[in-house]
Structure 1
Amino acid sequence: MNNYIESSIKQFEYYKSLGDKTFAQLTFDELKRELSEDSNSISIIVKHLVGNMLSRWTNFLTEDGEKEWRQRDEEFIDSFTSKEEFLANWNKGWDCLFGSMKSLTDEDLERLIYIRNQGHTVVEAVNRQMMHYAYHVGQIVFLGKLIKGKRWQSLSIPKGKSKDYNKEKFSKDKGKRHFTEDL
């Protein structure tokens, strides 16, 4: 099962990298842009993700994942004052997650933990959080692409380049490797 922990960490790193690459293309004003009334900016989505990460991954094995100190409703009020503060918070959330993930052992994976008093095995909780973060990172990337328009630098296989991408992949010998190793 240790492969599960390593694979999950790599997958979380991949989602973080998608956010990082999106933020690198955007100004602070673009990160704060709401595209329609009552929509969330990238900045607000990140504030929510960080709040969730700090709550879920702090004392992951010993405390409920929904901490009493979390102010979830405030996560949807944009309060970042600089791109540096924005990025520092983004990294703080991920550092909390990676610290907890890297401390897990195979024996921990079937332990029961709680999120809002709902029991989850550690595997179920990790999967729940990974899917939650993938959902929001997908929103971040999509918003970034909408904001940048034709100036967007693709984070995956660019349109019209699938054949070239596949040719390069199939030119390598078969072997077990995580898909993120080539990114």
Structure 2
Amino acid sequence: MALKLTTSYLEDSIGVFRYYKRLAEGAMRQVSDEQLYVSLDPEMNSIAVIVKHMAGNMCSRWSDFLTTDGEKPWRDRDCEFELPPQGREGLMGLWETGWGMLFAALEPLTEADLLRTITIRGEAHSVMQAMNRQLAHYPYHCGQIVFLAKHLKHESWRCLSVPRGGSQEFNAKVAAGEASQR
């Protein structure tokens, strides 16, 4: 993602969310349908389970974002870690639904909205605090997706950023204005 100089917290935050969404999607495109469901051990989650959890969290947090608690009564968090939908199409449908809820909630906001108070699990948060909470949560899980995909693809993994041994070439491209710095 090209770094865009901005003083807008909203614009920058939405850009960061989009960056991590693309990063995880780049990782998921590299794995087979079967590998989406691989768990490295019984205590770890597969990419599919992580996607299901993220989508559940996003739907709960971002639906009626400014007017209802971010932990909806209909959310079954425990279920998010069981039986993800089978097939890439269904899984990616969940993924897009969750991210769609996030962007639909954030894009209409103004800088003044950042100071509004919302609740998550009955606790008051400013809109900015709620966004920061998710800016920590979603990249954490996107990193897990990248880690799992990279592990599963090992030798055939295609780097999503600066490849090992490629820093000098990357820095030269940045200096020439040909590469993203972020």
- Note if contact 1:32-1:78 (Cα within 8 Å) is conserved in structure 2: no
Kindly indicate which of the two structures has a greater share of residues assigned to helix: 1
- Note if contact 1:21-1:155 (Cα within 8 Å) is conserved in structure 2: yes
What is the root-mean-square deviation in Å for CA atoms of aligned residues? 1.8
Runs of 4 or more consecutive aligned structure 1 residues displaced over 4 Å after TM superposition: 180-183
Query: What is the alpha-carbon distance in structure 1 between the residues aligned to residue 147 and residue 114 of structure 2?
Result: 33
Q: How many residues in Structure 1 have an aligned counterpart in Structure 2? A: 177
Structure 1: which 5+ residue stretches go unaligned? Answer: 174-179
The higher relative CO (CA closer than 8 Å, separation ≥ 6) is in 2
**Map of 1:176 onto structure 2:** none
Q: Which of residues 73, 79, 86 in structure 2 aligns to 1:81?
A: 86
Partner SS, residue 161 of structure 2: coil
- Note if contact 1:48-1:76 (Cα within 8 Å) is conserved in structure 2: yes
Query: What is the alpha-carbon distance in structure 1 between the residues aligned to residue 7 and residue 170 of structure 2?
Result: 31
How many percent identity over aligned positions?
A: 44
TM-score w.r.t. length of structure 2: 0.92
- Note if contact 2:67-2:118 (Cα within 8 Å) is conserved in structure 1: yes
Q: Deviations over 1:50-72 (max 9, x none)?
A: 00000000000000000000000
Q: Deviations over 1:120-173 (max 9, x none)?
A: 110110011011001000010001000000111101100000000011101239
1:160 aligns to 2:165 (yes or no): yes
Partner SS, residue 119 of structure 2: strand
TM-score w.r.t. length of structure 1: 0.92
**Map of 2:139 onto structure 1:** 134
1:113 aligns to 2:102 (yes or no): no
Partner SS, residue 107 of structure 2: helix
Query: What is the alpha-carbon distance in structure 2 between the residues aligned to residue 37 and residue 18 of structure 1?
Result: 26
Query: What is the alpha-carbon distance in structure 2 between the residues aligned to residue 2 and residue 64 of structure 1?
Result: 29
1:165 partner amino acid? F
- Note if contact 2:84-2:91 (Cα within 8 Å) is conserved in structure 1: no
**Map of 2:103 onto structure 1:** 98
Structure 2: which 5+ residue stretches go unaligned? Answer: 1-5
1:100 partner amino acid? A
Query: What is the alpha-carbon distance in structure 2 between the residues aligned to residue 85 and residue 182 of structure 1?
Result: 34
**Map of 2:54 onto structure 1:** 49
**Map of 2:3 onto structure 1:** none
